[in-house]
């Protein structure tokens, strides 16, 4: 049974990956904040990374560790570079096994989405620039690597405080009015969909660059309305606003999203619709 070391294993995607991969692989969960019997790992500490790799001898590294706070990256670029760029270098230094990197649609400028793997990158934020730098470094320095780009990753579990879906559901359940941008377009992706795709990638060792998103291109306001409808909540509490009105430190790609034709044809992946994923989440919560 292959040993898969997961960095950032205690975030929302890590939670889904452990759930979906543990029956097929020997999972080694690591992270900054450790739960259960996981291993504390700071990917910016090269010596610590080297020691853990020597102790565990993984066949595969699934790198979910990243600084994903887009505005935080913009205001603290050195930390973003240390985690998103140097962290990848540290993990690959001395590791010649199979490496899977989770990337983002933020490597694009958001002018002409949705994007395919062959479209030109042009990040407009520090977050996007650091993630692209890691992608490019892997492409030239680690032969056994897969880069999987995703967008608007969400779930609803105890470990998903940053999830858009959890925020919308919890806010509307409490009767709170929320403002949601109506000019950012994506195909939102359930963590369990992405974890299933990652399992296929590991089994097939599908090297190279792939895009994945669930089926359904929509703006955030439309996504919030769909969430409200699936969960039988009051969508009148959702108010549309523009991204410019938020005055956020980091610019956002507006017309984004990811095309999935390559991963569908190469790996036989059939994306579920966003609505189907939301309905499955509701069923899980009602059990």
Question: Any idea what the CATH number is for the domain that residue 114 is in?
Answer: 3.40.50.720
Instruction: Give the per-residue pLDDT at 82.
Output: 98
3-state SS, residue 179? strand
Residue 165: closest CA among 229, 217, 114: 229
Give residue-wise pLDDT tens across range 147-191. Answer: 999 999 999 976 666 789 999 999 999 999 999 999 999 999 999
Taking residues 25-38, report their average pLDDT. 87
What is the band of 32 on the pLDDT scale with cuts at 50, 70, 90?
A: confident
Q: Are 13 and 102 in contact (CB under 8 A)?
A: yes
Query: Considering the domain boundaries, does residue 64 fall inside one?
Result: yes
Give residue-wise pLDDT tens across range 227-270. Answer: 999 999 999 999 999 999 999 999 999 999 999 999 999 999 99
Q: Domain of 210?
A: 3-157+188-216+257-272
Which of the pair, 286 or 197, is modelled with greater confidence? 197
Instruction: Give the per-residue pLDDT at 235.
Output: 97
Instruction: Give the per-residue pLDDT at 36.
Output: 72
- Average pLDDT value for the chain: 96
Query: Considering the domain boundaries, does residue 151 fall inside one?
Result: yes
Rounded Cα–Cα distance for residues 56 and 53 (Å): 5
Instruction: Give the per-residue pLDDT at 94.
Output: 83
Instruction: Give the per-residue pLDDT at 34.
Output: 78
Query: Considering the domain boundaries, does residue 263 fall inside one?
Result: yes
Query: Considering the domain boundaries, does residue 80 fall inside one?
Result: yes
Q: Are 171 and 22 in contact (CB under 8 A)?
A: no
Query: Considering the domain boundaries, does residue 277 fall inside one?
Result: no
pLDDT above 90 (res 21): yes
Query: Considering the domain boundaries, does residue 127 fall inside one?
Result: yes
Q: How many CB atoms lie within 10 A of CB 206?
A: 16
Q: What is the DSSP letter of 120?
A: P
Q: Are 131 and 103 in contact (CB under 8 A)?
A: yes
* Beta partners for residue 7, in sequence order: 63
Query: Considering the domain boundaries, does residue 284 fall inside one?
Result: no
Give residue-wise pLDDT tens across range 62-87. Answer: 999 999 999 999 999 999 999 999 99
Greatest distance between any 2 Cα atoms in the chain: 55
Domain count, the chain: 1
- Alpha helices for the chain (secondary structure H): 12-21, 46-56, 70-75, 77-81, 87-92, 126-141, 164-173, 191-204, 220-230, 261-267, 274-286
Query: Considering the domain boundaries, does residue 29 fall inside one?
Result: yes
Give residue-wise pLDDT tens across range 197-234. Answer: 999 999 999 999 999 999 999 999 999 999 999 999 99
The answer to whether the peptide bond before residue 114 is cis (omega within 30 degrees of 0) is yes
């Amino acid at each position: 049974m292959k040993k898969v070391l997961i960095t950032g294993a205690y975030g929302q995607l890590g939670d889904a990956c452990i759930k979906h991969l543990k029956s097929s692989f020997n999972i080694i969960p690591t992270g900054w904040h450790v739960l259960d019997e996981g291993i504390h790992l700071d990917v910016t500490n090269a010596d610590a990374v080297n020691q853990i790799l020597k102790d565990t001898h993984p066949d595969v590294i699934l790198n979910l560790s990243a600084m994903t706070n887009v505005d935080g990256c913009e205001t603290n670029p050195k930390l973003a570079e240390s985690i998103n760029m140097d962290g990848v270098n540290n993990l690959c230094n001395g590791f010649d096994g199979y490496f899977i990197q989770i990337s983002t649609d933020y490597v694009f400028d958001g002018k002409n989405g949705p994007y395919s793997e062959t479209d030109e990158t042009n990040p407009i934020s520090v977050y996007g620039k650091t993630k692209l730098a890691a992608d490019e470094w892997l492409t030239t320095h680690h032969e056994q690597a897969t880069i999987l780009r995703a967008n608007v990753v969400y779930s609803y579990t105890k470990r998903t405080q940053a999830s858009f879906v959890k925020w919308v559901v919890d806010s509307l359940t409490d009767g709170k009015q929320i403002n949601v941008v109506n000019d950012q377009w994506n195909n939102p992706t359930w963590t369990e969909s992405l974890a299933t795709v990652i399992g296929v990638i590991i089994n097939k060792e599908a090297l190279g660059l792939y895009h994945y998103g669930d089926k359904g291109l929509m703006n955030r306001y439309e996504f919030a309305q769909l969430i409200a409808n699936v969960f039988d909540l009051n969508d009148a509490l959702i108010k549309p606003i523009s991204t410019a009105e938020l005055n956020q430190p980091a610019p956002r790609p507006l017309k984004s999203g990811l095309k999935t034709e390559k991963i569908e044809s190469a790996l036989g992946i059939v994306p579920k619709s966003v609505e189907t994923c939301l309905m499955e989440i509701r069923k899980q919560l009602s059990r």
